Amino acid sequence: MENLVKGILLEMGENPNREGLLKTPERVKQMYQYLTKGYQEDPKKLINDAIYEQKYDEMILVKDIEVYSLCEHHMLPFFGKAHVAYIPNGKIIGLSKVPRLVDMFARRLQVQERLTVEIAQVINENLRPKGVAVVIEAQHLCMQMRGVEKQNSVAVTSEMLGCFRTDSKTREEFMDLIRR
């Protein structure tokens, strides 16, 4: 990867041997390894038996989870907030596992739409709840720094499964809670 970064610097018209750029290829390699570490993570291992039997049938919501990811089209960052809710069906997950799952999928080259779906699907598959809802609000540097250059634009995606999809009152309660 370091040689590829040197090649990019040369293509830009830069000198990869000048003082300020000498360690750039190594730093870029380390940065991309960190920003894409989600490829090395497995949701089952991440959850690590943090699923518990519990008689609770109201909505569980973890909101305003910071999201940082890289757009797979331009490899530029997008960032914002994720809101994740589910209604248990006899099982709950440790609360800290929800943001960890968000991070795991965000630390891959992504499109926001797929990221939203992946988070909902992994919770649905592992808990089999009555419903799952995920909303992500994000700003994309590929839209802000290049292309249309709209600095104040925010993309919002959602995935509603189970009762969040079929029951408008449940969906409305979720949307009301994330707006507060």
DSSP string of 129-169? Answer: -SEEEEEEEEEEHHHHTSTT--TT--EEEEEEEEHHHH-HH
Could you say which of 54, 73, 125, 151 is catalytic? 73
Over residues 33-62, the mean pLDDT reads 96
Give catalytic status of residue 163 as yes or no: no
Write down the catalytic residue from 2, 41, 74, 173: 74
Q: Find out whether 60 and 96 touch, Cβ atoms under 8 Å.
A: no
pLDDT in tens, 76-104: 999 999 999 999 999 999 999 999 999 99
User: Does 112 qualify as catalytic in the annotation?
Assistant: yes
DSSP-derived secondary structure letter, 17: T
pTM score, whole prediction? 0.95
Active-site hit among 26, 72, 113, 125: 72
Q: In angstroms, how far is the first alpha carbon of the chain from the final one?
A: 44
- The reply to whether 71 belongs to the active site is yes
Q: What is the pLDDT of residue 9?
A: 98
* pLDDT (0 to 100) of residue 77: 97
Distances (CA, A) of 136 to 24, 33, 172: 32, 24, 16
Domains of the chain, by residue range, sit at: 2-35, 42-179
Predicted local distance difference test score (pLDDT) of residue 4? 97
Mean pLDDT of the chain: 97
Dump pLDDT digits (tens) for 103-142. Answer: 999 999 999 999 999 999 999 999 999 999 999 999 999 9
Considering the candidates 71, 83, 110, 163, report the single residue annotated as catalytic: 71
Tokens of 154: 């925010």
Confirm whether 83 is a catalytic residue: no
Q: Determine the pLDDT at residue 173.
A: 98
For the segment 48-53, the average pLDDT, to the nearest whole number, is 94
Class in CATH terms, 42-179:
alpha beta
Beta bridge partners of residue 155, listed in sequence order: 138
